[in-house]
Amino acid sequence: MSTPSPSRRSVLRATAGLVLTGTALTAAAACGNADQGPDELEAPLAAARADAALATVAGQVFPDLTARVTPVAQARRAHADALAAEVRRARPDRADAVDAPVTPPRPPASSAAAASALRTSLVAARDAGSDLAVRTARYRSGLMASVAAACAGYAEVLG
């Protein structure tokens, strides 16, 4: 008893079906993973915005700090803008989170407390940025290394 062998046409149909199914599953998996959860740059973005807001408030409330914290506020705003642009480029689905308004901080109790709080935050941003620069994709690591280096420099100025 012999079993009929499949026709050439049925083999081609089956192969084409497998290729199309594999392609569709791969595309669905890639799209599904990209849209899950926050982007890794959202935390440094939030920190940059918070630092800029704190430096701005500290400069307004404590005139003796204005010269030291104004460049920090400007740099951290620039960091936030660059990070937001990268998140919007890579993850348009996260635009609402990136564009969320920042709650202004309460003014610190003293000039020393303001400088200390800002320095602590900059050191944390330096450390987080350095860590992320090593772990992230190559095209993002330069951005994160630049942010970390700037935070390190400003932390020293405030120290």
CB 123 within 8 A of CB 151: yes
- SS3 call for 137: coil
Residues of the chain by 3-state class (helix, strand, coil), percent to 5: 80, 0, 20
Per-residue pLDDT in tens (0 to 9) along the chain, 159 residues: 565 666 666 555 655 555 444 444 444 444 444 557 999 999 999 999 999 999 999 999 999 999 999 999 999 999 999 999 999 999 999 999 899 888 889 999 999 999 999 999 999 999 999 999 999 999 899 999 999 999 999 999 998
- Cβ neighbourhood burial of 89 (10 Å; 0-12, 13-18, 19+): exposed
pLDDT for the residue numbered 54:
97
Rounded Cα–Cα distance for residues 69 and 62 (Å): 10
Length of the chain: 159
pLDDT for the residue numbered 101:
87
pLDDT for the residue numbered 74:
98
| Domain map (residue ranges) of the chain | 7-36, 42-158
**CB-CB neighbours of 116 under 10 Å:** 14
pLDDT for the residue numbered 49:
97
Rounded Cα–Cα distance for residues 27 and 10 (Å): 26
CB 107 within 8 A of CB 57: yes
Residues in Cβ contact with 147 at an 8 Å cutoff, skipping those fewer than 6 apart? 44, 48, 79, 82, 83, 125, 129
